Structure 1
Amino acid sequence: MDTGLHPGVHDSARRLGKGADNPVGRRPLSNRAIVLWAAGVCSLVLSTLAGVATAVPRKGSPYQKLALLTRVMSYVEQSYVEDVDSDELIYGAVKGLVETLDPHSAFLRPEQYREMKNDTAGQFSGIGIEVDVRDGMLTVLSVMDGTPAARAGVVAGDQIVRIDDQPTRGMTDYVARMRGKRGSAVQLLLQRRGQRDSRLLVIQRDLIKVRSVESFLLEASYGVIKVKQFTETVDRDVEAAIAALEKESGGKLLGLVLDLRNNPGGLLDQAVRIADMFIDSGLIVRTEGRNGRILDEERAHHRGTRDDISIICLVNGGSASAAEIVAGALQDHGRALVMGTQTFGKGSVQTIIELEDGSALKLTIARYFTPSGRSIQEKGISPDVVVEQVKLSELKPQNSEEPVQKERDLHGHLKNKQRDQIARRPSGPPVGYAVIAQHSTGGEDYQLRTAYDYLKAWSILSARLLPRRSTPTPAHVAGGGPATSPTGTEESVGRKSSSRELLEQRPADAAAAAAVRGSVGAPIGLSPQAVTGTGSAPTRGLASGLSGLIDEGR
């Protein structure tokens, strides 16, 4: 995608990497210094073989192998059939070294590092479109308002046939090709559905600000905030989105869907700030380095907490890293009902170490743990309510057992005399369904509709059944009780009251809660069990928080 975001750089992460790996603040060796040092090692080894008594690296030292590297480089430079670039050889060697560690550690060339910094800063130089390959063709998914692409007339659905005379079929670097220096031009050959002739556009690149947060109101008092990635300004963007939704709702927001689906992660400090908005106290996340050493803990603060809004957090298999930190914290504190499908399962933290030639080392330095002590690595976050994404247009209502005729169809039936005296409740689907269709690919989003249904049902049930002095969120009903510390004692994880306390106060409310879990959200004619299931994630020992850089998980 032209807005394709990548893991970014965070100042605290940079300091963390320097402090942990280079506590005295020495500058890292340059590539040339490494080669010269390796050559020195090689000469020492050769001298020893010749019988000269001199110092060599201790037996078994990994640096002895650098002699092998210099010998291979020497053979390549002297005997390879074509001229070679020594810098490229060094970059390739370092890249291969780092890739032996884990999928998220990486060596970034200078141009890759610059691109990553632009992404996490929330801006880049490009034309302002989101693209993906659909049916084998590079297709425009959306066009950002006020961008060069919008001014040139590009619309969603356009197929990009060529970029600067290069065919896009099979192309993998289309994002890099559409980006470039501000003021430079890129040529796009577009094919629009329903039109026979293609169009050639010459678009001048400009500075594009990435929209990491989108929001819209479903109906009065119920809104959606979608966080696409945790960039540098996400916390301010989410606060602004909440304020805008409240203003549009007349000052009150009862329910919020926090949509973290397909969010690949981003900056850790931003994930912590988002969780802190809705959690009033307790641990948010903890990071542990090598041998279980605690590197950092992040805790919630009471000031500014929005604990008056019921929240459903939507996740799926594309929710990774920083998105899993937010979902895990909200779930462990009972602050939100987590809905959707199992998340990606990236539970590691990366830091960025900037090198003197403009390149950088992205290195995995820690694992993170949720407030209850869970490691998400490999496992992911298990939603409280499992809701698969299905296409409603492919489903058929199963109402064959219902009578064809209703009372109003019977001959001579009694008339409802209140028809003109008492206003009836509006019939038909909730108004939010139409709004969801407008903001969804293909005009439907079953997971978001289900989240909306749950929020509405919870509002109705809490108003009718639950004590007015205690207004728990849906998560309190669906989630578990207090977390248990490693010593076996119960500890509060920031929740106002546990579901156990609530259900013991009023047995009738337990039945109402069960009704919420088991019957809300399925379309007409579908058994709720066929599409949704419940399964709360286990709460284990109470752990503590974290800090560093979270990169994209996919």
Structure 2
Amino acid sequence: MLRKRFWAIACSLLLILGMVFTPTNAAAAFTEEQSVLLQAWRYVSQSYVDDTFNNNNWWLLRQKYLKRRLETKDQAYDAISEMLAVLDDPYTRLLRPEQYRSLKVSTAGELSGVGLQININQDSGDLEVIVPIAGSPADEAGIEAKDIILAIDGVDTKNISLDEAAARMRGPKGSAVALTVKSAVTKAVRTVSMVRDTISLNPVYAKLEQHEGQNIGYLRLNQFSANAKVEIEHALTDLQSQGADRFVLDLRNNPGGLLQAGIEIARLWLDQETIVYTVSREGIFDSYAATGHAVTDAPLVVLVNQATASASEILAGALQDNGRALLVGEKTFGKGLIQSLFELPDGAGMAVTVAKYETPLHHDINKLGIMPDKVVEQDPIPYRMMATVEDGQYQVALDLLS
């Protein structure tokens, strides 16, 4: 009897307050723009690696931005970007519909644009060229590694994000774009007009090298895209059929890509060792290991530099910590955070940092990088000079293998 009276009082109170909770009424309480913001908030709330949210009250931020006047999608996107900014994490970011589509296309292996890998220089804040893709419009225009992109079609790059800069350089095949570029060598400023083209992102370049009587297979991996593992396995077995019995794996200027691609490629070189540990925000460790199906146990040297980042560092760290390869070059970039992609209801997306990773010997390399076994400093060189007599780091790798 007492239980029935309590239930009746509770129901009456809810009715008086107008608090009838049904899915339909809950959805109707928010506009389409607010719903997009709420979904973005939920993704971070449920998945973000730091459960203090950079010492911010994440719930109060939700309330703050829901009170804002959001009448257009752009206003919702601006609010989401402001909300994410308090995390002080450049890798957790909003991807507007065009940016999200471009990212999915690029990781699939092909896009249309000028063919530049770019990054924001952490010291200067400049939009910097990592490297032009071989044979791309940017490569043919003479743009080189470490050049600074000052403007894209007259838009100052100081005022836009990395994703927006990439989106502005992409576009339909045959369309034109003008880049204002400052040379890293001469410091001269010039405006370069280019016609966008389809950029085939075959992530692997391979060749057989004869050095002091040894057959050395050279493999350059440019990006960890969805087709990277298949392409590098094909190149590896092809080089073996040509007589290669030792290898150089070049990860210089490789900005990373898909985590799973990095793990699968590590399994080509390792037997049953640990490849990487991931650490969730609860401090829970998970790990990925090799599966006992290495393609080769031949001697291996890995080339790295300051632009070797993310999934490249996972692969390099796995090979170094397990004693499978010697690393040659310069200390790597130091990105030890893992992002997941989430889709928003309107075709936009989000990249959210969901975990950090550690190498098999539990080295946390975020902002620290990986130190190679043999340090060989070298100014950035274009692709056409890589793996030639002008490439000092490569020559050291050949000598080590011989």
- CA distance in 1 between counterparts of 2:203 and 2:100 reads 20
- CA distance in 2 between counterparts of 1:366 and 1:312 reads 29
- After superposition, the Cα gap between the structure-2 partners of 1:129 and 1:355, relative to the gap in structure 1 and judged at 3 Å, is closer
- CA distance in 2 between counterparts of 1:299 and 1:243 reads 22
Cα deviation for residue 88 of structure 1 reads 1.9
- CA distance in 2 between counterparts of 1:322 and 1:143 reads 19
Q: 5 Å matches for 1:404-415?
A: none
- CA distance in 2 between counterparts of 1:189 and 1:343 reads 28
- After superposition, the Cα gap between the structure-2 partners of 1:95 and 1:256, relative to the gap in structure 1 and judged at 3 Å, is same
- Of residues 225, 228, 231, the one that matches 2:225 is 231
- After superposition, the Cα gap between the structure-2 partners of 1:109 and 1:442, relative to the gap in structure 1 and judged at 3 Å, is same
SS in 1 for 2:76: helix
Cα deviation for residue 275 of structure 1 reads 0.9
Q: Is the 8 A contact 1:316 1:342 kept in 2?
A: yes
- CA distance in 2 between counterparts of 1:353 and 1:96 reads 18
SS in 2 for 1:223: strand
Counterpart in the other structure of 2:65? 69
- After superposition, the Cα gap between the structure-2 partners of 1:177 and 1:355, relative to the gap in structure 1 and judged at 3 Å, is closer
Cα deviation for residue 377 of structure 1 reads 2.2
Q: Which amino acid aligns with 2:65?
A: L
- CA distance in 2 between counterparts of 1:244 and 1:266 reads 24
Q: 5 Å matches for 1:87-486?
A: 87-101=73-87, 102-126=89-113, 144=134, 149=137, 154=140, 156=142, 166=154, 175-182=166-173, 184-186=174-176, 203=195, 205-219=196-210, 221-247=215-241, 251-294=242-285, 296-307=286-297, 309-389=298-378, 439-440=385-386, 444-456=390-402
- CA distance in 1 between counterparts of 2:259 and 2:37 reads 38
Deviates more, 1:225-234 or 1:97-106: 97-106
Q: Is the 8 A contact 2:151 2:157 kept in 1?
A: no
- CA distance in 2 between counterparts of 1:144 and 1:437 reads 6
- After superposition, the Cα gap between the structure-2 partners of 1:390 and 1:263, relative to the gap in structure 1 and judged at 3 Å, is closer
Cα deviation for residue 129 of structure 1 reads 6.9
Cα deviation for residue 438 of structure 1 reads 5.9
- After superposition, the Cα gap between the structure-2 partners of 1:157 and 1:297, relative to the gap in structure 1 and judged at 3 Å, is closer
- After superposition, the Cα gap between the structure-2 partners of 1:226 and 1:86, relative to the gap in structure 1 and judged at 3 Å, is same
- CA distance in 2 between counterparts of 1:311 and 1:324 reads 16
Q: Is the 8 A contact 2:151 2:180 kept in 1?
A: no
SS in 1 for 2:268: helix
% identical aligned pairs? 34
- After superposition, the Cα gap between the structure-2 partners of 1:289 and 1:252, relative to the gap in structure 1 and judged at 3 Å, is same
Cα deviation for residue 269 of structure 1 reads 0.9
SS in 2 for 1:284: strand
Counterpart in the other structure of 1:51? none
- After superposition, the Cα gap between the structure-2 partners of 1:275 and 1:88, relative to the gap in structure 1 and judged at 3 Å, is same
Q: Is the 8 A contact 2:341 2:352 kept in 1?
A: yes
Counterpart in the other structure of 2:52? none
Task: Summarize deviations over 1:62-99 as a string: whole Å, max 9, x none.
Answer: 5455554355x34xx8xxxxxxx632222111112112
- CA distance in 1 between counterparts of 2:270 and 2:235 reads 18
- CA distance in 2 between counterparts of 1:63 and 1:378 reads 29
- Max Rg structure: 1
Q: Alignment length, in residue pairs?
A: 334
Cα deviation for residue 179 of structure 1 reads 2.4
- After superposition, the Cα gap between the structure-2 partners of 1:269 and 1:174, relative to the gap in structure 1 and judged at 3 Å, is closer
- After superposition, the Cα gap between the structure-2 partners of 1:169 and 1:32, relative to the gap in structure 1 and judged at 3 Å, is closer
Q: Is the 8 A contact 1:390 1:446 kept in 2?
A: no
Q: Is the 8 A contact 2:116 2:129 kept in 1?
A: no
Cα deviation for residue 263 of structure 1 reads 1.5
- After superposition, the Cα gap between the structure-2 partners of 1:200 and 1:115, relative to the gap in structure 1 and judged at 3 Å, is closer
Q: Is the 8 A contact 1:162 1:189 kept in 2?
A: yes
- After superposition, the Cα gap between the structure-2 partners of 1:217 and 1:352, relative to the gap in structure 1 and judged at 3 Å, is same
Uncovered stretches (5+) of structure 2, i.e. residues with no partner: 1-26, 39-55, 120-125, 182-189
Hey, which of these two has a bigger chunk of strand by percent? Answer: 2
Cα deviation for residue 130 of structure 1 reads 7.3
Tell me how large the CA RMSD over aligned residues is.
4.4
SS in 2 for 1:291: coil
Cα deviation for residue 185 of structure 1 reads 2.7
Task: Summarize deviations over 1:487-513 as a string: whole Å, max 9, x none.
Answer: xxxxxxxxxxxxxxxxxxxxxxxxxxx
Task: Summarize deviations over 1:401-459 as a string: whole Å, max 9, x none.
Answer: xxxxxxxxxxxxxxxxxxxxxxxxxxxxxxxxxxx996339972211111111111xxx
Q: Is the 8 A contact 1:272 1:298 kept in 2?
A: yes
Deviates more, 1:162-171 or 1:228-237: 162-171
Q: Which amino acid aligns with 1:448?
A: Y
Task: Summarize deviations over 1:334-361 as a string: whole Å, max 9, x none.
Answer: 1101122222222111111111111112
Q: Which amino acid aligns with 1:315?
A: V
Q: Is the 8 A contact 1:129 1:144 kept in 2?
A: no
- CA distance in 1 between counterparts of 2:313 and 2:290 reads 17
Q: Is the 8 A contact 1:162 1:188 kept in 2?
A: no
- CA distance in 2 between counterparts of 1:186 and 1:364 reads 35
SS in 2 for 1:261: coil
Uncovered stretches (5+) of structure 1, i.e. residues with no partner: 1-26, 38-59, 78-84, 192-197, 393-435, 457-554
Higher relative contact order (Cα pairs below 8 Å, separated by 6+ residues): 1
